[in-house]
Amino acid sequence: MIKIAPSILSADFVNLERDIRHLSACGADYIHVDVMDGLFVPNITIGFPVLSAINGITDTPLDVHLMIDRPIRYVERFVDAGADILTLHYESDTDENTLDALKRIRNCGAKSALALKPGTPAEAVIPLLPYCDMVLIMTVEPGFGGQSFMADMMPKLEKICSWCSREQLNCEFEVDGGVSEKTARQCVQAGANVLVTGNALFRAPDIASFIQALKALEAYV
């Protein structure tokens, strides 16, 4: 099944509750929450109080994408605040700490996920994949919504998908950045089953039809 994870970075923050309720009503599978600290990426977004508030108004699972330095410091707090899936960046700490953080996410009862920036090769994360419930392939440089999709990330996605299927790992494959009605099909064909979409979704004239159109890409799996 193709899952749609709208990124609330493109939502109307003054009307965040309205927008999130609408996303759930339109069939969103996850709510994608981008957390940025101004260090790992040159932008600052939201933290614990807002995440807790979102958690209080929706039953749709929260897919929390941490773009922060040394996320191991905050794993438990993000899960307590409502993260159902917690994604760390491979580049944000040492391999040892990243492994420890992934294990701690699962121990807290959430799903663990690892994100790769465009410059990070598939080979770098392979030893960590048995500890991941999801892998996030960035199709833009993390930091901002509304950027152009990088189609040259598709071979990396294919490589990770085929490694996981060979090893019989039960993993989801998410793409994030510039995903639209035009670019989603190649993601699905390369093995993605979770599509993050911000700018394209919130600009769509009808969000429910937009989500249905992306889910219909199941035909290309």
Closest CA to 151 of 189, 193, 194, 202: 189
Site residues (CB under 5 A) for Zn ion, limited to 47-76: 65
Number of residues that bind Zn ion (CB under 5 A): 3
User: Whole-number minimum distance, CB 14 to ligand DX5, in Å?
Assistant: 18
Tell me if 118 contacts ligand DX5 by CB under 6 A: no
Cross-strand bridge partners of residue 7: 32
Distance CA 190, CA 66 (A): 24
Distance CA 209, CA 204 (A): 9
Distance CA 9, CA 152 (A): 24
Site residues (CB under 6 A) for ligand DX5, limited to 167-196: 176-179, 196
Nearer CB in complex with Zn ion: 19/34: 34
Kind and range of the H or E run holding 186: helix 184-190
Tell me if 198 contacts ligand DX5 by CB under 6 A: yes
Tell me if 37 contacts ligand DX5 by CB under 6 A: no
Distance CA 58, CA 111 (A): 18
Instruction: State the residue number with the nearest CB to Zn ion.
Output: 65
Contact of residue 79 among Zn ion, ligand DX5, none (CB under 5-8 Å per partner type): none
Give the catalytic positions in this structure.
34, 176
Distance CA 117, CA 145 (A): 15
The residues binding ligand DX5 (CB under 6 A) are 7, 9-10, 32, 34, 65, 140, 142-147, 176-179, 196-200
